[in-house]
Structure 1
Amino acid sequence: MGKEYLPCIAMTIVQVGYAGMNVLSKLAMDSGMHPFVTVAYRQVFATLFLIPFAYICERKTRPKITPHILFQIFVSSIVGATMNQCLYFLGLKYSTPTIACALNNLVPAMTFVLAIPFGMETVGIKRRSGQAKVLGTIVCVGGAMLMSFYKGSLIKIGESGIHWRYAEHMGASNTSNSGNNFIGPLFVVASCIAGSAWFIIQTKMSETFAAPYTSSALMCLMSSVECGIIGAFADPHIKAWTLGPKLRLIAAVYCGVVGSALAFCLMSWAIQKRGPLYVSMFNPLLLVIVAVLGWAILDEKIYMGSAMGSVLIIIGLYAVLWGKGKEENQTRDAEKSVEEGKELPVYSTPTNVHKMIDL
């Protein structure tokens, strides 16, 4: 019976790990570490951690790595690692961990929108599932806009008794990085678009190269070089690349090992056991954990605009996930009807069923 809860435990560990990554990264950047330098080190440590997994787990099943596959991985590294993470860490620098995590819940809705032109998703506006996905996307975008452009009044929830004085010192020395500056949320939204585009590219690539650990290791390796070049141009001083004080080293190693490599392994395993929809449903848990940690440790202030926007994004997220889950159930029922020779509903012709199964 205990094995049934292992995917839940794994995804909870992932969200706790991501929460720690957001808090540590924010502190490292507040100490003067450039966001691009942070991302570069994250890719380096992720690569070092993933290479043994790729070799051990896929040495007998790995397909041949062709020039076409390398090009696809290169594109994935630019979009899914370099652009996505550089934009996200820029957004985190100029906002707060809570706002960044809340806006990151836009990814499922944006993935749905980007997948439509490629024939990977259908709107189906006449069905409840399609209406839920469209309405959920609109609500998510509305929540993101509210968080980006509306501050509102301060929500008074008291002070934490375990507030970290070091974090207070870092925050005081970086007052220019206001948690309610609209530039930060816009960077995070841009990172969500890049992340959604990466899902599309990755889905296509997985059809011809089913070796997730190898492709991820190569992607992180390529991104290490790309982020290193970008970071060198953004801040060429040697001092900017030092991992002192110790917080920078801890943040860099943590981001690479826990935030990238370990999180990917656990999510891949959970997807195999319960599917991508199950994994996506844990995203809002990250927002709750980060909000609590931000308030308790970083003395993060929460404003009405952020709270209302977060609620709208979560509502929209679950509407999209509900619609997607409903659609998948309809597809399975239609597939079963085809196998049993039963008459199909109007929206589930054999052609459509086989098309959706292939996707």
Structure 2
Amino acid sequence: MGNALPYVGMVISQFAQAGNLIVSKEALIDGMSTYTLAFYSSVISSFILLPSSFLLYRTTPLPLCCDFFWSCFLIGVLGFLMKITAMAGTLYASPSLCSAILNLIPGFTFVLAVLFRMEILDFRSFSSLAKTIGTVVSILGALVATFYQGPSLLSTLSSPNLSVHFLLNQSSNWVPGGIISGICAMGASVLIMTQAFVLRKYPVELIIMFCYGCFLALLSATASLVMDEEYSTWRLNSKSRLLAVIYSGLFGNVTQLTLCAWVVRKRGPLFAASFHPLGIVIATILGVIFLQDNFYLGRYQYFFFELSYCVESTETK
């Protein structure tokens, strides 16, 4: 049971991430700012994590030192950049595409893990060979998912037109959305690696996530006051905004980030990153159901590439 918990935790985390993409897109379409959404969700998560941290670590000496707070501040800055780029990518493109591009995270994390010697690269080993091939496949697959749309598999049920669509030839925002999501994937990989180093020294996930939420709320509020021209973006005057704030705070921050931090400490950064390909399956299904997204051939092909990498990485870890 103990060995299975990291797997269960990462699956739950991917469900939380996919749902967060759906509700965030609805709130952003409704006129809410990415900064205010990040601020409200961070405040909610901080209020939840504060008492939880005291209850869980009441007998543990707290690492209240400058080095600890600087480490949490660095995680907060990286998380702020990742969250803002993720929401911006969702605003331009669909949740299924954003989730597909975020599947670059395992490849980027593997490269960083090798550079920082947290993973040993030995081409005579099946594990290293599988992860290297998977990294190349994930990068090529992300490019396919961004620039090649393909025919809609849902519309072909009612129409025989199987014309191929390349997004570069269309007046679509999916290409900038894919590029922004790619930047988010790189930032998420750096964040996972930073968490691994910090958690190795300070194994107190909830306290780190609480500090992360506080710094993220501070950065988001500052950015909103500077960047947002209208104060109406702060209003929670619609169901979509209120739902996004509550869901993002409870599941997008508390559940997803805390579970990821715990799995990173237990099994390492690459194990946690390897589950991100599952997000495309969940996000695609939810996008089709709740946002009436089309399911294109490019997403379908990319799904099998990335799912194979997920299986290989977790089995060889």
**Do both proteins adopt the same fold according to a TM-score greater than 0.5, normalized to the shorter chain?**
yes
Query: Which residue does 1:319 correspond to in 2?
Result: 312
Letter aligned with residue 104 of structure 2: L
CA distance in 2, matches of 1:293, 1:155: 16
Query: Which residue does 1:136 correspond to in 2?
Result: 134
Which deviates more, 222-231 or 299-308?
299-308
Distance of aligned partners of 1:180 and 1:239 in 2 relative to their CA distance in 1, 3 Å threshold: closer
CA distance in 2, matches of 1:33, 1:205: 33
* TM-superposition CA deviations, 1:83-138 (whole Å, max 9, x none): 11111111111111111122222212211101222222222123222211111100
CA distance in 2, matches of 1:271, 1:78: 19
Say whether the 8 Å CA contact 1:103–1:313 is kept in structure 2: no
Say whether the 8 Å CA contact 1:46–1:220 is kept in structure 2: yes
Aligned partner of residue 116 in structure 1, secondary structure: helix
Larger radius of gyration: 1
Say whether the 8 Å CA contact 1:107–1:192 is kept in structure 2: yes
CA distance in 2, matches of 1:241, 1:271: 34
Say whether the 8 Å CA contact 1:142–1:312 is kept in structure 2: no
Distance of aligned partners of 1:158 and 1:221 in 2 relative to their CA distance in 1, 3 Å threshold: farther
Distance of aligned partners of 1:57 and 1:236 in 2 relative to their CA distance in 1, 3 Å threshold: farther
Aligned partner of residue 201 in structure 2, secondary structure: coil
Query: Which residue does 1:47 correspond to in 2?
Result: 46
Say whether the 8 Å CA contact 1:139–1:315 is kept in structure 2: no
CA distance in 1, matches of 2:182, 2:271: 23
Are 1:65 and 2:59 counterparts?
A: no
CA distance in 1, matches of 2:19, 2:248: 9
CA shift for structure 1 position 272: 7.8
CA shift for structure 1 position 24: 0.9
Query: Which residue does 1:202 correspond to in 2?
Result: 195
CA distance in 2, matches of 1:268, 1:307: 30
Which deviates more, 300-309 or 27-36?
300-309
CA distance in 2, matches of 1:20, 1:45: 17
Distance of aligned partners of 1:283 and 1:199 in 2 relative to their CA distance in 1, 3 Å threshold: closer
CA shift for structure 1 position 287: 2.3
Aligned partner of residue 202 in structure 2, secondary structure: coil
CA distance in 2, matches of 1:302, 1:279: 27
CA distance in 2, matches of 1:8, 1:69: 29
Say whether the 8 Å CA contact 2:21–2:95 is kept in structure 1: yes
* Runs (5+) with no aligned partner, structure 1: 160-177, 326-359
Aligned partner of residue 293 in structure 2, secondary structure: coil
Query: Which residue does 1:17 correspond to in 2?
Result: 16
Give the alignment of 1:245-284 within 5 angstroms.
245-267=238-260, 282-284=275-277
Letter aligned with residue 301 of structure 1: N
Distance of aligned partners of 1:4 and 1:126 in 2 relative to their CA distance in 1, 3 Å threshold: closer
Letter aligned with residue 238 of structure 1: Y
Which deviates more, 81-90 or 100-109?
100-109
Q: Aligned Cα RMSD in Å?
A: 2.7
Which deviates more, 197-206 or 304-313?
304-313
Distance of aligned partners of 1:268 and 1:194 in 2 relative to their CA distance in 1, 3 Å threshold: closer
Distance of aligned partners of 1:264 and 1:127 in 2 relative to their CA distance in 1, 3 Å threshold: same
CA shift for structure 1 position 200: 1.7
CA distance in 2, matches of 1:115, 1:68: 23
Are 1:93 and 2:91 counterparts?
A: yes
Query: Which residue does 2:164 correspond to in 1?
Result: none
CA distance in 1, matches of 2:75, 2:308: 30
CA distance in 1, matches of 2:128, 2:301: 25
Aligned partner of residue 18 in structure 1, secondary structure: helix
CA distance in 2, matches of 1:226, 1:193: 20
* TM-superposition CA deviations, 1:298-333 (whole Å, max 9, x none): 11012222322333233333334444x1xxxxxxxx
Aligned partner of residue 116 in structure 2, secondary structure: coil
* TM-superposition CA deviations, 1:134-165 (whole Å, max 9, x none): 11100000001111222222222589xxxxxx
Q: Percent identity?
A: 26
CA shift for structure 1 position 193: 0.8
CA shift for structure 1 position 275: 7.6
CA distance in 2, matches of 1:227, 1:308: 37
Query: Which residue does 2:160 correspond to in 1?
Result: none
Say whether the 8 Å CA contact 1:132–1:322 is kept in structure 2: no
**Normalization by structure 1: what TM-score?**
0.76
CA distance in 2, matches of 1:13, 1:67: 33
Give the alignment of 1:334-353 within 5 angstroms.
none
CA shift for structure 1 position 222: 0.6
Aligned partner of residue 115 in structure 2, secondary structure: coil
Say whether the 8 Å CA contact 1:35–1:90 is kept in structure 2: yes
* TM-superposition CA deviations, 1:49-81 (whole Å, max 9, x none): 1111111111321433111111111111111x1
Distance of aligned partners of 1:137 and 1:270 in 2 relative to their CA distance in 1, 3 Å threshold: closer
Give the alignment of 1:149-188 within 5 angstroms.
149-156=147-154, 181-188=174-181
Are 1:216 and 2:203 counterparts?
A: no
Query: Which residue does 1:295 correspond to in 2?
Result: 288
* TM-superposition CA deviations, 1:236-263 (whole Å, max 9, x none): 3211111111220111111011111023
Distance of aligned partners of 1:280 and 1:190 in 2 relative to their CA distance in 1, 3 Å threshold: closer
What count of residue pairs does the alignment treat as equivalent?
Answer: 304
CA distance in 1, matches of 2:269, 2:204: 17
